[in-house]
Chain A
Amino acid sequence: MAATIYLNVAVSGVLTGLVYGLMALGLSVIFGVVRVVNFAHGEMMTIAMYLAIVLFAGFGLDPLVMLVPIAGVLFALGYVMQAGLINPFINRPEHSQFILLVAVALIIVNVLLIVFGPDARNVQTSYSFDSFLVGPLIVDATKVYAGAASLLVAGALFVFFRFASIGKAIRACADNYTGALVVGLDVKRLYALTFGIGAACVGAAGAMLVLLFDVTPALGPALTLLAFIIVITGGLGSMPGALIGGVLIGLTEAMAGLLFTPSAKSMFSFGLLVLVLLFRPQGILGKRLSW
């Protein structure tokens, strides 16, 4: 009997973890190519989540259906941010860029606070309480859909970077900035595209996450931190690493929540982060950008 509880929680954790993984994927892509540590990552995700809520509450549009448009909006936001704010900063010291994004994060969180207030919001769809029965397992439908969608998006991204010419151009920039310039690639535009893609990942992930969790403005920083933990654990710059890291963290959090108190689960994640930073800073899947 107890085993099935663990199994249920584990499966739930893995599925949630896939969504986290997609979010972290965005961060990894941004860092891998543009070499910017997007401290506003989680905050951007909350924008997507609130957007999903507004669309649902106002027009009855299901977040999963609105996945692509929401991702599109975030893409535009990311593109503009890179083109307008960050591109001029490419040659500035690392901490300058970081602080720039800290400022953006601060603004986003508090604007959301002013607009939406501090109360938790969520989306209740017609299938919010459905579940699938697979043998002894009872799995939430929302989690299954979210997990599947995450895999689809990640897969699409993989195909894009492998086979599309723009995708290959972006990889060239990541490998060799000067070389890319020399062969005539418009690196700044490609950077903006990449940031847009990373933001789109976050947009998609946000549209899914709103089905699973409540959103408050304060969720932004927590998600940013989580994204960092995942990406560092999985390997900064590694796409598969981000997904694996996400699943790992989703699993750890779920199990820790079950075995200990819910609040302790973050401590595990942080403990993991510290260990990884110290002993294997390149993460599980190594530091070279792997596609």
Chain B
Amino acid sequence: MVKGLFEGVPRRGLALLALLLAALLAAPWLANDYLLTVLIIILYFAYTGQAWNVMMGFAGQLSLGHALYVGLGAYATAALYVHFGIGPWLGLPAAIAIAVAAGAVIGFLAFRFGVGGVYFAILTIAFAEFARIGFDHFRWVGGSSGFFLPVANYTRNDLWNLRGNPTMFYYVMLALTVAAFVLCRVLLRSRVGYYWQAIREDETAARSLGIDTFRYKMYAVVISAGMTAVAGVFFAFYYNNLFPEQVFHISRSIELILGPIIGGIGTLFGPIIGAFLLTGMSELMQELLALLGLDAPGAKQVFYGVCLLVVVLALPDGIWPWLARKLGVTERRS
């Protein structure tokens, strides 16, 4: 199985991959605190981008409400921790279950009633907005005033309760990102992966080949939702505060799709490259603005918008396929 994981990848690609992994593993020793937090954000977006990519890049279903799953995962584990003292790892199954249920509802409603394409995207937005407003009134988890996880001064890292210094969070996020990457690689090469791609390319033709498209689209939605919920758990325990206005906001949903779109929808490296480029460059830009003494709230978002525009116009497949060609490590694009 492990051998199968690397089948078809050119030597050069494996070498680059190993190099990247080594650099990421060593990062906490080489980077300062600020850089480490940036790297955490990059990995967070690489992870969520990968999860979103399963639905969009593999199965062709455009979701613009993925913040819903982040929020559900975050609130679920936060509530279990604050109200019942249940740690995040134990709370994880609950978080995933809730997100999966939500995804299943959305998927079922959409696919059973033939809602696709842009209408499906609007449906996902509606559900996320529904949650945003709903959670504002949800007193048990703080409502609009916010929900807070207790932060005490921990002398040592508590992995079980995810309390600790940035380095611990960094490695947790790195592990999650690597796991997501491996999972996606496995899925892509499996029967499910082939069927997803067939559905994405031409659903009618896929059905004529015996594929139960409803079922496989549901798999995509549900797996994507479950994966995203895990990011929500991380979110809750890293930031320690949750506000429905922020967590479920459409900006969050759009933020997390930028990476995979710019990096390359449907590829394995797209979300990762996209996250690095986007977050890396926006941090640089903010440094630049600060140096110049300019304070422009919203400049980062304008930058994101422009990047998106440029990529959609000039490199519609994303940056990774182009970059891979240049490096000579093309993956067989899904």
Q: Do A and B belong to a common assembly?
A: yes
Q: Which residues of A contact B (CB under 8 A)?
A: 37, 85, 88, 92, 94-96, 98-100, 102-107, 109-111, 113-114, 118, 217, 221, 225, 228-229, 232, 261, 263-264, 266-267, 270-271, 273-274, 277-279, 281
Residue-wise interface mask of B (293-316) relative to A, using a CB-CB cutoff of 8 A (1 in contact, 0 not): 000111101101110110011001
26 contacts between A and B (CB under 8 A): A88-B313, A95-B118, A96-B316, A98-B62, A99-B308, A100-B309, A103-B305, A106-B302, A106-B304, A110-B298, A110-B301, A110-B302, A114-B296, A114-B302, A221-B250, A225-B126, A225-B129, A228-B122, A263-B136, A270-B126, A277-B119, A277-B126, A278-B113, A278-B115, A281-B113, A281-B115
- Which residue of the partner chain, among B115, B117, B130, B301, contacts A106 with CB atoms under 8 Å? B301
A273 to B254, CA, bound (A): 21
B301-A109 in contact (CB<8A): yes
CA distance in complex: A94, B119 (Å)? 11
B304 touches A94 (CB 8 A): no
- Contact, CB under 8 Å: A104 / B309: yes
If over half of B's interface residues share one DSSP class (helix, strand or loop), that class is named, otherwise mixed; here it is helix
CB–CB B305/A104 < 8 A: yes
Query: Judging by beta carbons under 8 Å apart, are B133 and A267 in contact?
Result: yes
A111-B298, A114-B298 given as contacts; is B308 within 8 A of A106 (CB)?
yes
Using Cβ atoms and an 8 Å threshold, which residues of chain B touch A221? 250
Residues in chain B within 8 A of chain A (CB atoms): 56, 62, 64, 109, 113-115, 117-119, 121-123, 125-127, 129-130, 133-134, 136-137, 250, 254, 261, 296-299, 301-302, 304-306, 308-309, 312-313, 316
- A106–B125 contact, CB under 8 A? no
Taking A110-B298, A111-B298, A270-B129 as contacts, is the C-beta distance between A281 and B305 under 8 angstroms?
no
Choose among B113, B115, B129, B309 the residue that contacts A266 (Cβ–Cβ < 8 A). B129
B126 and A274 contact, CB distance less than 8 A: yes
Asked whether, in the complex, the Cβ of A107 is within 8 Å of the Cβ of B115, the reply is no
Nearest-neighbour CB distance to chain A for B298, whole angstroms, equals 4
**A267 to B261, alpha carbons, bound, how many Å?**
30
Within 8 Å by CB of B130, from A102, A109, A270, lies A270
Cα-based distance from A114 to B301 in the complex (angstroms): 10
The answer, among A37, A99, A111, A267, for a CB contact under 8 Å with B312, is: A99
Task: Provide the residues of chain B in CB contact with A278, threshold 8 Å.
Answer: 109, 113, 115
Chain B residues with CB below 8 A from A277, complex form: 113, 115, 119, 122-123, 126
CB contact between A267 and one of B117, B122, B130 (< 8 Å): that residue:
B130
Least Cβ distance of B283 to chain A in Å? Answer: 17
The distance in angstroms between the C-alpha atoms of A266 and B132, with both chains bound, is 11
B62: chain A residues within 8 A (beta carbon) = 95, 98
Chain A residues with CB below 8 A from B296, complex form: 114
Closest chain-A Cβ to B214's Cβ sits at a distance in Å of 15
Ranked 7 nearest A-B pairs via Cβ: A106-B305, A107-B305, A110-B298, A113-B298, A103-B308, A110-B301, A103-B309
Q: Which residue of A lies closest to B144 (CB)?
A: A263
Inter-chain contacts of B136 with A (CB < 8 A): 263
- Give 19 new A-B contacts, CB below 8 A, not counting A274-B123, A277-B126: A88-B313, A99-B312, A103-B308, A104-B305, A104-B309, A106-B304, A109-B301, A111-B302, A113-B301, A229-B126, A232-B119, A261-B137, A266-B129, A270-B126, A273-B122, A273-B126, A277-B115, A278-B113, A281-B113
- The smallest C-beta distance from A90 to any residue of chain B, in angstroms, reads 14
Say yes or no: B308 contacts A96, CB within 8 Å: no
Partner pick for A94 among B115, B117, B250, CB 8 A cutoff: B117
Find chain B residues with CB under 8 A from A271 CB.
130
Known: A232-B122, A279-B113. A110 touches B305 (CB 8 A): yes
B118 contact from A37, A88, A103, Cβ within 8 A? A37
Bound together, the chains give a CA A267 to CA B133 distance in angstroms of 7
